Structure formats: structure tokens, C-alpha cells
Amino acid sequence: MTTAPRPVREPTAQDVLRAGEIVRRHLEPTPVVASPNLGPGVLLKLETFQPTGSFKVRGGIVAVANVLGDDPAGRVVTASAGNHGLGVAYAARALGVPATIVLPENASRAKRSALEEFGGGVSVVVHGPTYDEAESYALELAADGARFVSAYNDPDVIAGQATIASELFDQVSGLRGIVAPVGGGGLVSGLALAVAQREGTDVYGVEADASPAVSASVEAGHVVEIHEEPTIADGLAGNIEAGSVTIGLIARHVRALIRVDENAIRRAVRFLASEHGLIVEPSGAVGVAALLCGLVQPVTDATVIVISGRNVTAGLMAEILAGEP
């Protein structure tokens, strides 16, 4: 985190339209499948089918494309728990932009290994025990003229994540609800921005109970620092940057923020594996956890749960699957 807010503007509906053009040039729409055991009309948006295994590649490709558009010699720096770094690295390699990815020491081994395989113009730096320290260091590295691309507090990234909703408008007739994970809030604020002008569609965000930085900040009306507990949903862990624009967007446009505990997250990962044959990382399964716990009541017309990522180590997946049903 930073002690003083950076000047970051909120994205606009026009940003979302432009992001859609960029994403369509580089990424295929991800599939939507029914999940009747979660309720009639419940659908899963499978961002696990992205080339990096996570929705984060959307924001990465939009941000890097815009850096390149502003400066052909531009370069980017970011901090990531893993999936955002993978998205930026994929975009940087595809578009030929140098990128530095700063990971915390507690980043998933699977995500770190995948990042280190990119090579070329993508460099990986490990700094600090948690995401907060990694983010602060990345901001220092970017101070010499690189573009810092936040995993959540960035208009291009938020607009890129909003393209999930843009796809859903074409894929799902009568879309009524979208349920998505919340870490720093980039995904859920983008979705909410995209549906803000549509009557009858609500967005719900789901946090890990162990790391409710966004809901605590929304409740306070400004970014507050929380005490984190360990969570299996590593992609949702961490405090958020002071002044993050996601807080205002969420406060205005998200219907509700919900918290789920560790047992519920594990149960959701097992459900997705047994019912759908899907490998889903814990952070990507929290929306399903909310429905399994009855914390979100699906609308029978069409409720979509964003399954946000698949990047989990084989050992952790085996441990979860071997747990209590």
C-alpha cells in the first residue's frame, strides 16, 4: 500500500467500450455453462478457459495495449499475487512491451513458476512477505518512468475486467445477476460499471472472510487497513491501495458484498470438481461458495457466477479434494 493516494481516475462507460474492442482483438469469449444443482437458471462464466487460466488477462491486455498506444517505447511494472502478473506478462509478450512483475514471497508456487517461464522481456522480482510490501516496491520501481499497472486500482484494468459483462450481455438472455470474487475490487467494480445503465441486473461481490479489505473500506467510506488472517484464497488476500477508485465504484453500483469462510471455499472447489469436472483455484470458487451457503439467492431467469481462475498447485487441489464433502 501507499500512505498517500496516487492520482487515479475512475474509468468511464467509454473506457469499457474501448476495452471491449481491444479484448476482442486478442482473446476469445469464454464459455458459459449451466449449473442446475446450484439452482434453476444458474450459469457459470468460465474464465478458467483464458490462456493464462484467469480473467486477469483481460485487464492486462487492455492496460498494456494502451501503454503501447501512448508510447511505443513504454514499459510496465506491476505487483501481483500471481494471476494479474500472468495477465500482464501474457500481454507484454504478445505486444512486445517490457514488463517487470513483483511477487510477494507468499505467492502461489504454481503462479510463480508460470510467470518465470515467460522469459524474454518479462522479468520477475520477489519482494516482501506479503502483497502489501510487493506493491509498495513495485511503485518504487515504476517511479523512474515506467507505467505502474495496478491489479485493481487502474482505469484500464477495471475496464478490461468489465468486458466479462459485455460478453455476458450477448451470451445470456435476460441476465439478472452476476456474482464475482472480490480481492482489490477491480473485477466487481468493472462488472458493476458495465451493468450500471441496465435495468434489472445486479452485481454481487464475494470476499474471503479472512481478508475483507474492500467491504471494510466501503463500510467506512474510504480505504482502511485491516488485519488479515491466512486464507486459502490467496488471490483475494491483502490490503488495498490508499484512495483506490474501486471503493467508490463498488459503493455506488454493487448490490451487496458477501463474505465466505474457509470451509465454504473448500466445499465450493470440491463442488466444481465433482459436478463440472473443473479445476478451480479457491479464489475463483468464492461465488459458488456464496450460493452453496445460501448467502445469494439466485434469480430464476439468469444468475451468472464468474469462475475467475484455475491456477492452483496440484498439492493444494489434492488436499482440498481429499477433505470432508
Per-residue pLDDT of 119-161, as tens digits, reads: 778 999 999 998 788 988 999 999 988 999 999 999 999 999 9
Per-residue pLDDT of 70-119, as tens digits, reads: 888 789 999 987 899 999 999 999 999 999 999 989 887 777 888 888 87
pLDDT value at residue 85: 93
pLDDT value at residue 80: 87
Please give the full DSSP string across 180-247, using - where no structure is assigned. EE-SSSHHHHHHHHHHTTSTT-EEEEEEETT--HHHHHHHHTS---------S-GGG-S---TT-HHH
**Which residues, including other chains, have CB under 8 Å from residue 60's CB and lie 6 or more apart?**
52, 84, 86, 87, 88, 89, 90, 91, 92, 149, 157, 160
pLDDT value at residue 114: 85
Per-residue pLDDT of 226-263, as tens digits, reads: 998 999 998 898 888 899 999 999 999 999 999 999 99
Q: For the chain, what is the mean pLDDT? A: 93
**pTM (predicted TM-score):** 0.94
Per-residue pLDDT of 255-277, as tens digits, reads: 999 999 999 999 999 999 999 99
Flag whether pLDDT at 16 surpasses 60.
yes
Give me the mean pLDDT over the 46-64 stretch.
97
pLDDT value at residue 1: 47
Residues above pLDDT 70, as percent of the chain: 98
Rounded Cα distance between 179 and 165, Å, is 11
Residue 3 has φ and ψ, to the nearest 5°, of -85, -25
State the CB neighbour count (10 A cutoff) for residue 226. Answer: 16
Flag whether pLDDT at 174 surpasses 80.
yes
Taking alpha carbons only, the member of 114, 135, 11, 9 closest to residue 62 is: 11
Rounded Cα distance between 95 and 259, Å, is 37
Which one is predicted more confidently, 108 or 284? 284
pLDDT value at residue 250: 97
Flag whether pLDDT at 2 surpasses 50.
no
Domains of the chain plus CATH, in order, are: 13-54+154-321 (3.40.50.1100), 57-148 (3.40.50.1100)
Specify the length of the chain in residues.
325
Flag whether pLDDT at 3 surpasses 60.
no
pLDDT value at residue 300: 67
Give me the mean pLDDT over the 3-9 stretch.
83
